[in-house]
Amino acid sequence: MNNNFPVDRLSGIETPFYYYNMDILNQTLDLVRKESAKYGYHVHYAVKANANERIMKTIKDYGFGADCVSGYEVQQAIDCGYPSSGIVYAGVGKADWEINLGLDNDIACFNVESIPELEIINELAGKKGKIANVALRINPNVNANTHHYITTGLEENKFGINHWDLENVLEVLSGLKNVKLEGIHFHIGSQITDLTSFHDLCIRVNELQEWFISHNVLPRIVNVGGGLGVDYQNPENAIPDFESYFKLFSEHLDLRPGQELHFELGRSLVCQCGSLMSKVLYVKKGVKVQFAILDAGMSDLIRPALYQAFHKIENLSSKGNVEKYDVVGPICESSDCFGKAVVLPETNRGDLIAVRSAGAYGEVMASQYNLRKLPKPYYSDQL
Ligand code: LLP
């Protein structure tokens, strides 16, 4: 699908800013709803990928729930109209006020990552005379084969409960009156493009389900997290293969009667609808390379600097002969670089640049480093 940037209208907006193509977002959400509904699966949108109000409300209108990792994300989901019955809340370090916020709003489930957390939720729920639904986040020890910063399912990660602790956890749970074990939860990592990792996860979940059943526990909910990747090299390939993704789980994950399968998808829903828009301030000739210096920097999109992530860069203004540029931002850090030896049509001051596939972990990770303004969002249907 072609993004069809409305270059004339975009050129009049003060840069840098985020531009969201709402057609791409809607088509993506349409497909996710269709493919997940085939199997009766439940999808929670992982708010951390993009907490922008317009994006969140659009996703909510498709009937998806929300997967939150902080009190303010829970609040944002509620403010955007997500029903509390569709809100799940994960995170290794939930503060007491955040747990209380979840309890006060009767959220669907706390995804719990340790025994001490289980005990605190029990205590706080008890003070309110409530019973909190919890899912145990279990470390499946499945390698997601992705960047080490976003691999989360291995034993040495800080996330989740290790399988050898489960016996202990069930014993502790049996003594806690204000928590109810509703589910088991997994998440192996993010930007996973090889579905084999999800196949491995299914096999592991099946084994763990057997273990629970042998201990007379049948969790009502199995939540397999998120992590489906997108095609950063080719943003025109805008919609991930949700058909194969959900089909894989339907073929390999054994659910017992009455069990529900839940997902927490972030990146795959919102990544390709967003671009960071910027203008070229200067073209500077170095000894061996020439730099295209943008007015957007790592404060607007930190992924290249933080994860050496690739984002396709396009010059929307020029049709000149191609040359190579190191595309950098204005921030006082050498890592403030969007791409090295990027092939672009001849680039000049004032050209409009799109840094593609920036709808996920883009705007939401922007900062005011160097006391810069936060980039504003604009939407294709409101220009
Ligand atoms: N569920 C849990 C428990 C998670 O930790 C995450 C992401 C998700 C769901 C959603 O994963 P997704 O479907 O978006 O892959 N800032 C990094 C990504 C960090 C992902 C953290 N957890 C990046 O820019 O690549």
pLDDT tens by residue, 106-124: 999 999 999 999 999 999 9
User: Residue 225 Cα, ligand 1 centroid: separation in angstroms?
Assistant: 9
- Per-residue pLDDT averaged across 114-137, rounded? 97
> Do residues 323 and 344 lie in contact, with contact meaning Cβ atoms separated by under 8 Å?
yes
- Full domain range(s) for residue 296: 7-17+272-382
For 323, the 3-state DSSP assignment is strand
Asked if the model's pLDDT at residue 46 lies above 50, the reply is yes
Tell me what pLDDT residue 298 has.
98
pLDDT in tens, 273-298: 999 999 999 999 988 899 999 999 99
CATH number of the domain enclosing 358:
2.40.37.10
User: Residue 267 Cα, ligand 1 centroid: separation in angstroms?
Assistant: 7
Is 248's C-beta closer than 6 angstroms to any atom of ligand 1? no
Q: In which band, very low, low, confident or very high, does the pLDDT at 151 lie, cut at 50, 70 and 90?
A: low
CA–CA distance from 192 to each of 73, 98, 196, 278, 357 (Å)? Answer: 24, 30, 9, 28, 15
Distance CA 256, CA 22 (A): 38
Q: In which band, very low, low, confident or very high, does the pLDDT at 141 lie, cut at 50, 70 and 90?
A: confident
Amino acid sitting at position 203? I
- Per-residue pLDDT averaged across 362-366, rounded? 98
Q: Of 211, 241, 271, which residue sits at a domain end?
A: 271
Q: Of 218, 242, 271, which residue sits at a domain end?
A: 271
Is 303's C-beta closer than 6 angstroms to any atom of ligand 1? yes
| Least confident window among 90-104, 131-145, 248-262, 363-377 | 131-145
Is the domain of 289 the same as that of 214? no
Q: What is the DSSP letter of 192?
A: B
Residue 264 placed within a domain: yes
pLDDT in tens, 160-170: 899 889 999 99
Distance CA 118, CA 371 (A): 40
- Per-residue pLDDT averaged across 223-246, rounded? 98
Asked if the model's pLDDT at residue 316 lies above 80, the reply is yes
Tell me what pLDDT residue 150 has.
53
Is the domain of 198 the same as that of 213? yes
User: Residue 227 Cα, ligand 1 centroid: separation in angstroms?
Assistant: 6
Is the domain of 170 the same as that of 313? no
Residue 2 placed within a domain: no
Is 191's C-beta closer than 6 angstroms to any atom of ligand 1? yes
User: Residue 118 Cα, ligand 1 centroid: separation in angstroms?
Assistant: 23
User: Residue 147 Cα, ligand 1 centroid: separation in angstroms?
Assistant: 12
Is 197's C-beta closer than 6 angstroms to any atom of ligand 1? no
Is 50's C-beta closer than 6 angstroms to any atom of ligand 1? no
Residue 251 placed within a domain: yes
Is the domain of 178 the same as that of 317? no
Is 361's C-beta closer than 6 angstroms to any atom of ligand 1? yes
Q: What integer best gives the mean pLDDT of the chain?
A: 95
How many of the other CB atoms lie within 10 Å of CB of 112? 29
Is the domain of 252 the same as that of 292? no
Tell me what pLDDT residue 160 has.
87
Asked if the model's pLDDT at residue 242 lies above 50, the reply is yes
How many of the other CB atoms lie within 10 Å of CB of 45? 30
- Per-residue pLDDT averaged across 148-159, rounded? 61
Tell me what pLDDT residue 145 has.
63
Residue 361 CA, closest ligand 1 atom number = 24
Residue 309 CA, closest ligand 1 atom number = 25
322-328 and 337-345 strand pairing: antiparallel
Highest mean pLDDT among 126-130, 152-156, 161-165: 126-130
User: Residue 373 Cα, ligand 1 centroid: separation in angstroms?
Assistant: 25
Residue 179 placed within a domain: yes
Is 153's C-beta closer than 6 angstroms to any atom of ligand 1? no
Q: Which of 41, 253, 229, 46 is nearest to 145 (CA)?
A: 229
65-103 burial, b if ≥16 CB within 10 A, otherwise e?
bbbbbbbebbebbbebebebebbbbbbeebeeebbbbbb
- Per-residue pLDDT averaged across 24-44, rounded? 98
Is 226's C-beta closer than 6 angstroms to any atom of ligand 1? yes
Is 112's C-beta closer than 6 angstroms to any atom of ligand 1? no
Tell me what pLDDT residue 1 has.
45
Asked if the model's pLDDT at residue 154 lies above 60, the reply is no
Is the domain of 276 the same as that of 266? no
Is the domain of 145 the same as that of 277? no
- Per-residue pLDDT averaged across 34-57, rounded? 98
The domain tally of the chain equals 2
| 356 Cβ contact partners less than 8 Å away, ≥ 6 residues apart | 3, 232, 235, 272, 275, 311, 312, 313, 314
Is the domain of 225 the same as that of 309? no
User: Residue 41 Cα, ligand 1 centroid: separation in angstroms?
Assistant: 19
Q: What is the DSSP letter of 359?
A: T
Asked if the model's pLDDT at residue 156 lies above 90, the reply is no
> Do residues 296 and 328 lie in contact, with contact meaning Cβ atoms separated by under 8 Å?
no
User: Residue 65 Cα, ligand 1 centroid: separation in angstroms?
Assistant: 16
Is the domain of 253 the same as that of 289? no
Residue 167 placed within a domain: yes
